[in-house]
């Protein structure tokens, strides 16, 4: 069966529902010819130079990313990355905040990676908007930002932090103890792939620790709950495995940009 870019677009639109993305976001089909036949797809968190070079080397027809490749309006097409993609007839599709809020998206992938049980949405909010409500809140318990879940067995806070580092393959993590100590036993885990600082008020008293990233200095100082900053890249990257699984029915070759191939490898511990 011949699969075209437009077939992948329809499938991903049905799965991720671009209408769920927040108003400021730019998601969906961003570059390419929808009539192009697809035989190989590259999954990546970001459409970076490394990702594009790998796509060209592997003769990929389509890149699917989490972070938008085109975020702001373009006035001219002179960027070498755009030109590389156009020259090599590589299409680009992005699923960002809509992939954050759906079931089997960014946070479910993170929960699965950390072997967490009984996940519940922290904030039932999506980007379905109207002029009246701005961010429309849905009653669907499977849509929203962040998750609170449970460990199979209680662990010491310090042990869990090391577990997170190992499972997510982070070069380092940052642990803020909050009102706990390293030996405090924890059971309930709040998670949010990417930047989750805004969820802290929603989880106080409901979770023992919060795993996310991009916590600012003042956010850390003001948090009574322990925080594990495992890095933006490492808390979101597990979703690529989920995307690969849902695309299996197309019988295409699916490859993923490895952390060691991504520009994130330039982040060094000195």
- Domains of the chain by residue range: 5-98+238-266, 102-232
Given a cut of 90, is residue 149 above it in pLDDT?
yes
Q: What is the pLDDT of residue 141?
A: 65
**pLDDT category of residue 140 using cuts at 50, 70 and 90:** low
Report the chain's C-alpha Rg in angstroms.
19
**pLDDT category of residue 132 using cuts at 50, 70 and 90:** very low
End-to-end CA distance of the chain: 51
Q: Which of 24, 66, 59, 76 is nearest to 45 (CA)?
A: 66
pLDDT digits (tens, 9 = 90+) for 209-220: 999 999 999 999
Three-state secondary-structure class, residue 113: helix
Q: How far is CA 214 from the centre of its chain?
A: 13
Residue 242: CB atoms within 10 A of its CB come to 19
Q: What is the pLDDT of residue 129?
A: 42
Residue 233: CB atoms within 10 A of its CB come to 22
The first and second tokens of residue 70, run together, are 């085109």
Three-state secondary-structure class, residue 84: helix
Q: What is the pLDDT of residue 239?
A: 99
Q: What's the average model confidence in pLDDT over 102-118?
A: 98
> Burial level of 145, CB count in 10 A (0-12/13-18/19+)?
buried
Given a cut of 50, is residue 130 above it in pLDDT?
no
Q: Which CATH number fits domain 102-232: 3.60.21.10, 3.30.390.30, 3.40.1390.30, 3.40.50.720?
A: 3.40.1390.30
Residue 94: CB atoms within 10 A of its CB come to 28
Q: What is the pLDDT of residue 204?
A: 96
Q: What is the pLDDT of residue 136?
A: 46
- pLDDT mean across residues, the chain: 94
Helix (H) or strand (E) holding 151: strand 145-156
| CA-based torsion, 8, 12, 13, 14: positive or negative | positive
To the nearest 10°, report the CA torsion of 170, 234, 123, 205.
0
What phi, psi does 133 have (nearest 5°)? Answer: -100, -10
Q: Which residue reads 């989920």 in tokens?
A: 242
Q: Which of 124, 109, 188 is nearest to 153 (CA)?
A: 188
Report the DSSP beta bridge partners of residue 31. 92
Q: Do domains 5-98+238-266 and 102-232 have the same CATH topology?
A: yes
Cβ atoms of residues 42 and 60 within 8 Å: yes
Class of domain 5-98+238-266: alpha beta
Given a cut of 60, is residue 224 above it in pLDDT?
yes
Dist. CA 211–CA 98, nearest whole Å: 20
**pLDDT category of residue 268 using cuts at 50, 70 and 90:** confident
More confident residue, 65 or 268: 65
């Amino acid at each position: 069966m011949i699969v075209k870019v437009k077939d992948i677009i329809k499938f991903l639109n049905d799965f991720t529902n671009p209408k769920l993305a927040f108003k400021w976001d730019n998601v969906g089909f961003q570059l390419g010819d929808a009539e192009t036949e697809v035989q190989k797809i590259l999954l990546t968190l970001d459409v970076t130079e490394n990702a594009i070079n790998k796509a060209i080397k592997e003769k990929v027809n389509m890149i699917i990313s989490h972070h938008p490749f085109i975020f702001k309006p373009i006035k001219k097409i002179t960027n070498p990355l755009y030109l590389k993609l156009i020259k090599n007839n590589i299409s680009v599709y992005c699923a960002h905040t809509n992939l954050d809020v759906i079931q089997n998206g960014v946070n479910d992938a993170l929960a699965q990676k950390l072997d967490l049980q009984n996940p519940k949405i922290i904030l039932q909010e999506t980007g379905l908007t109207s002029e009246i409500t701005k961010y429309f809140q849905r009653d669907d318990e499977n849509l929203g930002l962040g998750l609170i879940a449970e460990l199979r067995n209680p662990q010491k806070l310090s042990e869990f932090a090391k577990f997170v580092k190992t499972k997510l393959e982070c070069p380092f993590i940052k642990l803020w103890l909050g009102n706990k100590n390293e030996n405090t036993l924890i059971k309930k885990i709040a998670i949010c792939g990417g930047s989750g600082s805004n969820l802290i008020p929603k989880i106080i008293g409901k979770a023992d620790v919060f795993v996310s990233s991009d916590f600012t200095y003042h956010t850390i100082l003001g948090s009574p709950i322990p925080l594990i900053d495992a890095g933006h890249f490492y808390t979101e990257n597990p979703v690529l495995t989920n995307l690969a699984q849902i695309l299996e029915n197309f019988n295409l070759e699916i490859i993923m940009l490895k952390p060691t191939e991504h520009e994130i490898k330039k982040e060094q511990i000195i």
